[in-house]
Amino acid sequence: MAELLDLDAEVLHSYLSEVTAWVRELAAELPRRRILDLGSGTGTGALALVQRFEGADVIALDRSAQLLARCQAKARDLGVADRVRTVQADLDAELPATGPVDLVWASNSLHHMADPEHVLTEVFATIHPGGLLVVAEMDSFPRFLPDDVGLGRPGLEARCHATVAEGLAGELPHLGSDWGSRLSQAGFVIEAKRSFAIDLTRPLPASAGRYAQASLRRIRSGLDGQLSADDLATLDTLIDSDGPDGVLQRDDLTVRAARTVWVARRP
């Protein structure tokens, strides 16, 4: 997961830069002293925000000590370790006492919560009046392959995603929720909503092949018995590091994804 999160940040850098620039404009009147990153992972959002909001301190909160350690290491490499504090906590238990904050960032994290309404209520109480909550959620998992990939049956990647989505329906029931209505119910006022379509074509970033490989490997891990033997064999060939037909060698990859971002203010 750590590798996948880092690759996501590297390959989708332009998306992240565009989002944080937009949020910076919307937060122009805020004091921007303290920022909280909910479910920070390896620090993609936290590090982008600490560089975008000069002078602000960022609290990176995640339940994984391993991911937080990676975030701290990257903060040191960027020379911002004094402005990034990591806190290990399980948001399904309670939001730790971080003190009031001016901006909260929650990227692809709320759908993992068992009770997001409770989390949003706690976040509301943590933000200064007038402060902002930014919620970014994926509309679809990234796709990389041409539609004609599939042994005698095109559309392999679409079948993989459909199967994964069916399995996640019970595991992550809040994935794809209407976060706008949930934010309003928690007391926030929606300031803006924006969809971001990601469509990267050649020349791709150097790490795009590894990003595709890591993503497809994660998908493949749960597909045994869910797809045909031909589909699984084709997928195994694609994620083979050394194979000539693997994604690391293909020159027809693209990176396609969609994210929706809500910006809400505490009155």
Smallest CA-to-CA distance from 254 within 163, 148, 164, 109 is with 148
Give me the domains of the chain, ranges plus CATH numbers: 2-265 (3.40.50.150)
Smallest CA-to-CA distance from 39 within 120, 107, 132 is with 107
pLDDT at 167: 81
pLDDT at 242: 80
pLDDT at 212: 97
Q: What's the number of CA atoms in the CB half-sphere (13 Å) around residue 80?
A: 24
What are the CB-based long-range contacts (under 8 Å, 24+) for 146-151? Answer: 146/252, 146/254, 149/234, 149/238, 150/230, 150/231, 150/234, 151/230, 151/231, 151/233, 151/234
pLDDT at 103: 97
Could you write out the DSSP letters of every residue in 147-203?
TT-SSSSS-HHHHHHHHHHHHHHHH-TTTT--HHHHHHHTT-EEEEEEEEEEEE-SS
User: Would you write out the chain's pLDDT as a tens digit for each of its 267 residues?
Assistant: 899 999 999 999 999 999 999 999 999 888 879 999 999 999 999 999 999 999 999 999 999 999 999 999 999 999 999 999 999 999 888 889 889 999 999 999 999 899 999 999 999 999 999 999 999 999 888 999 999 998 878 999 999 999 998 888 777 888 888 899 999 999 999 999 999 999 999 999 989 999 999 999 999 988 999 999 999 999 999 999 888 889 999 999 999 999 999 999 999
How crowded is residue 197: how many other Cβ atoms within 10 Å of its Cβ? 10
- To which residue do tokens 């911002």 refer? 80
pLDDT at 56: 94
CB 37 within 8 A of CB 60: yes
pLDDT at 160: 95
pLDDT at 168: 80
